Structure formats: C-alpha cells, structure tokens
Structure 1
C-alpha cells in the first residue's frame, strides 16, 4: 500500500471507529450498561497485514480470523511491525479438528466450539501441549439449519460435561442471528442471554462472555447483553454504510 493510500485509509479507520464507539455508547446507555462491559473484535479475515497494522494505529486491539493459515500469515506479518505485534487474535468461524494445533497458543479465545466432539478434540490436544484453551460454546439459538452449534436443549444436556473437560476453560457462549431481520436478531440474542442465566443457575458457572452481534446488528446485541461483538465490514470497508 502506497503512503498516500495508507494515510487515507488510516483516516477512514479512525473516523469509522469513532462512529462505532458512539453507537456502542448509545446502546449501552439505552440498556443501562457500562461501555467498559463490551469488548470489540475487528474481524480481519478479509483484509491483509497492512490493513490490520493500520487498524491497530486507529485504536483496534483485538482481531478475529477464521482460517488458521491466514492467522499464521497475519501473526508472521505483524511480528516485525512494532507495537502491532501485540495485537490479540481470536479464532472465529468453524474450526476443523485437524487445524486445532495451528490455533492453540496463537489465539486468545476460540469462539466457535460447536460440538462435544470438537470440545473433546481441543481438550486432548491442549493437554498434550500442557496448556489451557479459553473457548466459547456456540449455540444455535435461532434454530436455522444453515447455522452450526448446539441447540439450547443440547447445551443444557451436555454443559456439565463440557465444563469438566481438562485443557479447556469455557468462558461463555456465542451465537449468530438471522441476517436482515432485526426482530429475530433481538430474540436470538435475548435467548442466548437467557440460556446463560439458566446455565449459571443450574451449574454455578460464570460464563462471563456472550459473543454475539456483527456489523448489521451489534447495537441490538449490546442492548440484549452481548459482552463481545465481532465487527468486520463496518470496520474495514469504506463502502459499508452504518445505519
């Protein structure tokens, strides 16, 4: 990226971040929450190393990737780039069992443990590496066939087993809402919060992280209790119009 392009893009990233933060603050005010309770992850899976470095300069500190090979490219590319080398990366999206070793130790949080099988596989590999992986359990609250994750009923039935697995620490829950339907998005996010509250009451677990909300619906998610939102297009795409 040429110097003038970098300057122009950095200026855009700063302006857009300010707009996003204003919307986060508004959603927190409407729902009686403290803005410090909400963490923002910039989903960097569609951009390059230069864009991530500039996003760091604009104030972003946590990024999300969904492909281990792209995660590796970003980590290696940022390593010689000063403070940006300290960027936090999370693994979002479906994680294949045969890619687990590429992720362990390289991400702060795995967002999408969508089955007991995957949880057990992460547990076994983490034990071999003598580490503990922080994970979120993905729940298909909306019931859409196109979405992965445990059903709420499956989550209730298997959560005790998930919590007991060695090598992983279940930090919370994650879900994705139907696109283009604000009412269904709101009910999906509310359903995740309610499930978290039920599991807390039943099992005594904290589950402090609720990961839900993306570019099109993050303010709704925050109003319904999300503590972590994943923002891609609205962060990196100058052509994306915030409502």
Structure 2
C-alpha cells in the first residue's frame, strides 16, 4: 500500500469521525485532493486509491496534468477544480478544462467564464470566494460586496453558482476556527434565504478540517495530508 493510499484512508477516516461528531452523514462531505506542485504520478496513485476529485492552483501545471490524465472511459473520468487566484487573461482555459471553479471574486471573472464555457460541456460549477478574515494578502469578496455580486453571477448563462469558498486566517485556536467558518455559513444561509439555490460550502483544510465540518462544509480541500510536504522550487 502506497503512502498516498494510506494518507487518503486516514483523511477519509478523519472526515467520517468529524461528521459523526457533528451529527452529519460522511457522504455529505466531498474530499477534494489538492494536488498542486505534485506530478501526474502522484495523482495516478490517488486515483488508484479511489480519489477522483482534484484541486489545482496553478493553471499551466494543471493543464499539463489534465491532458496527461485524460481518459476516454467515462467511469474513469476525473473531476478538476480550479482553486487558485484567477487572472482575466486566463479564464478561457479554465472555462474549457475545469468542472469547478472555487475562487471567483469578481463579476467580471464570472462573466468571462460564462462567455468562454463551451456549451457542449454543460454549466461550469462556480463558488464565490469570500475574504472572511479581511486579510489584505488574500483574494475574495468582502461580506458587504457578496450579495450584489452573487445576484449578478447567479443570472449568468453557462455557469451555475453553487456556493461559497473561504480560506480563513490560519489559527490553532479552535474557537476562532469555528467562528470564521460559522460566519461563512451565515453568509451562505443569508443568500439561500434570499432565493439563491446554493448547496456548497468549500471550506476547511488539513489544520482546521474538524471545525469546518462542524460548521457545515460540503467540500474540504486537503493537500499535504494526502500527498506530503510541498516543494515549491
């Protein structure tokens, strides 16, 4: 059994245990394996262990992996999620090659993705990124900006607004973890109450997975706990 297989099993057990403590069904939480900086062989190992949804931050690296791992067999088709910052001039390949985009933080970006999404692929699943901790170094809409942009994005053709994504300020304080994720969930519930058909909360990583699950995460984004330490060189 490979280390990636063992790590995946461990993370899946973590998710199941966290869900049980939160009185949630483990099946209501999707594991997104964040494979940025890891090559196609690492992704193949994860696929062999039963993982089919992968998150990527760096477009060129991701496109190379998507091309290398494309399979004609529908049962083996992988699901690719773009989770990194989006530049306006990079929207076309994202619209053409990905199934999900978690990091939309401007109406302009959503509009370009909508215009450039090939009709034969069906709607592109989109989450709006919220800068819930107000960090200057992070992308994302402020809570005040969110309702107007969400209403605009929900009207665009060729994309489907699924929910919200957030990366709160890192902290080991569990109470603060819960507080940040609860704030994201409150924004999500407010948008739903306003008539938007949302079903996705993309939040939680290796260090704060349990708090995210407790506060309603439907997708958790886990990288190093599966693939190991990253080498950014």
TM over 0.5: yes
* Larger CA deviation: 178-187 vs 27-36: 178-187
> 221-230 or 80-89, which moves further after superposition?
80-89
Q: Does 1:199 align with 2:164?
A: no
- Which portions of structure 1, spanning 4 or more consecutive aligned residues, are displaced by more than 6 angstroms? 80-84, 127-130
Equivalent of residue 161 in structure 1, options 147, 152, 162: 152
Counterpart for residue 34 of structure 2: 43
Contact residue 114 and residue 138 of structure 1 kept, 8 A: yes
Distance of aligned partners of 1:65 and 1:84 in 2 relative to their CA distance in 1, 3 Å threshold: farther
Unaligned runs of 5+ in 2: none
Q: Is the 8 A contact 2:128 2:150 kept in 1?
A: no
* Mapping of residues 160-239 of structure 1, within 5 Å: 160-181=151-172, 182-202=174-194, 204-237=195-228
Q: Report which stretch shifted further, 72-81 or 148-157.
A: 72-81
2:137 to 140, 146, 152: 146
How many Å apart are 1:77 and its aligned residue? Answer: 1.7
The two structures have a TM-score, normalised by structure 1, of 0.86
| 1:15 Cα offset (Å) | 1.6
Normalising by structure 2, report the TM-score.
Answer: 0.90
Shift of 1:65: 0.9
Which residue does the alignment assign to 2:63?
Answer: 72
Secondary structure of 2:138's counterpart equals: coil
CA distance in 2, matches of 1:128, 1:223: 37
CA RMSD, 1 decimal: 2.3
Unaligned 5+ runs, structure 1: 1-9
Report SS of the residue matched to 1:135. strand
2:17 matched to which residue of 1? 26
